[in-house]
Amino acid sequence: MGVLDGKVAVVTGSGRGIGRGIAMKFAAQGASVIVNDPGVNVDGSGHDAGPADQVVDEIKALGGQAAANYDSVAEMSGGENMVKQAVDAFGKIDILVNTAGILRDRMLFNMTQEEWDDVIAVHLKGHFSTIKPASILMRQQRYGRIINFSSSSGTIGNTGQFNYGAAKSGIAGLGRVVAKDLGRYGVTCNIIAPGAGTRMTATVPDSARELRAGSGIQGAASNAPVQESAYAGLRDPEFVAPMVTYLCSDDAWDINGWVFNVSGGSISVSRYPVAERSIFKPGHWTLPELDDAVQNVLMKDINNPAPPRDDIEVPGRDIAARVLS
């Protein structure tokens, strides 16, 4: 007996990486799985039925039930087709997991409109294209589990991921709204910000990694040297699957609208941005009051994650230096 016995799941982007691990785990726990993957390259180009077919073959070889789907989540028809296929093949849809993604990393001042549009289409619109048709059926049956995939790039920000970070931040917000819209109907929606080594993270240039490290911008999905040396084996993408499986089980019926940072054996939870510090006065602030309160209270000892280089003349920096001296 598995915790997902009798359940039907659609897992996007499940021909490789994190999605593959989730599809395999779901099947091992008794779910019938629609394995979606158009088999594109990391940048979204190309097409290959092989990855989805291989996962389906592996699931069937282990005695499970699965069917391949090659639609793109960037099109509304793609999401609709996946949900329809789940119903046609297995009678219903209980679980939707959105892991499909591409990367078009570039510094914002060099990014093209096409690079922006393509990443937003697959990630942010890609969640809408699947959640919309799935939500209709889940609402009717008064049951459902939806898992969205965000990233530290969306929750913290990563250099060179202007498009990806915007999409992933939007996905977290989208997930919180879905949780509130559908919770009353017995449907939960939670968000995973994974930390795992995949073919997508492997494409991040070393120069970008160095910039992020130097700026202190490192989240759950970073490739920090300390993490790599101490927990290298835990960055296998399959380590994300158990938490996703648990959240899709009946035991997690009342867990809804949360962001879970999952990296190897580490799991943390957050829901809303937490205030680091606050200041207050009754009435309007004057600019001199704000200058004093912001510098000496609100932002005291809170560093700029990406300060300007020392060789750049920055108005105001000399004032701060004189005050400190």
For the segment 220-279, what is each residue's pLDDT rounded down to a tens digit? 344 443 344 444 555 678 889 999 999 999 999 999 999 999 987 889 998 777 778 999
Share the mean pLDDT of the chain. 86
pLDDT of 282 higher than 60: yes
Cα–Cα dist 174/176, whole Å: 6
DSSP state at residue 184: G
pLDDT on residue 227: 43
* Domain identity same for 184 and 320: no
Residue 43 counted as domain residue: yes
* Domain identity same for 212 and 311: no
* Domain identity same for 87 and 119: yes
Tell me how far the alpha carbon of residue 166 is from its chain's centroid: 11
Residue 237 counted as domain residue: yes
Residue 35: C-alpha distances to residues 43, 68, 87, 274, 320 (Å): 20, 5, 14, 36, 56
Are 113 and 106 spatial neighbours (Cβ–Cβ below 8 Å)?
no
> Which of 71-85, 88-102, 188-202, 262-276 is least confident?
188-202
The 10 Å Cβ neighbour count of residue 29 is 21
Are 126 and 74 spatial neighbours (Cβ–Cβ below 8 Å)?
yes
* Domain identity same for 192 and 296: no
For the chain, percent of residues with pLDDT exceeding 90: 66
* Domain identity same for 133 and 24: yes
Mean pLDDT, to the nearest integer, of 114-129?
Answer: 96
Residue 52: C-alpha distances to residues 35, 94, 254 (Å): 6, 20, 32
**How many structural domains are present in the chain?**
2
SS3 content of the chain, % helix, strand, coil (to 5): 45, 15, 40
* Domain identity same for 297 and 259: no
Residue 150 counted as domain residue: yes
In the listed set 270, 296, 314, which residue is the last one of a domain according to the structure?
270
Mean pLDDT, to the nearest integer, of 105-109?
Answer: 89
* Domain identity same for 23 and 87: yes
pLDDT of 7 higher than 70: yes
CATH code for the domain of 258: 3.40.50.720
Q: Quick one: which H or E segment has residue 69?
A: strand 66-69
Residue 277 counted as domain residue: no
**Three state DSSP letters for 266-299:** EEEEECCCCCCCCCCCCCCCCHHHHHHHHHHHHC
* Domain identity same for 301 and 196: no
Per-residue pLDDT of 145-204, as tens digits, reads 999 999 888 778 888 898 999 999 999 999 999 999 999 999 999 999 998 554 454 455
* Domain identity same for 46 and 143: yes
pTM to 2 decimals? 0.84
pLDDT on residue 212: 44
**Catalytic-role residue among 70, 164, 231, 272:** 164
Residue 31 counted as domain residue: yes
pLDDT on residue 108: 86
Radius of gyration (C-alpha) of the chain in whole angstroms: 22
pLDDT on residue 158: 83
* Domain identity same for 151 and 233: yes
Position 75 confidence tier, pLDDT thresholds 50, 70, 90: very high
185 is catalytic: no
Residue 28 counted as domain residue: yes
Among 204, 237, 154, residue whose Cα is nearest residue 42: 204
* Domain identity same for 108 and 208: yes
* Domain identity same for 213 and 257: yes
Q: Which domain holds residue 310?
A: 287-324
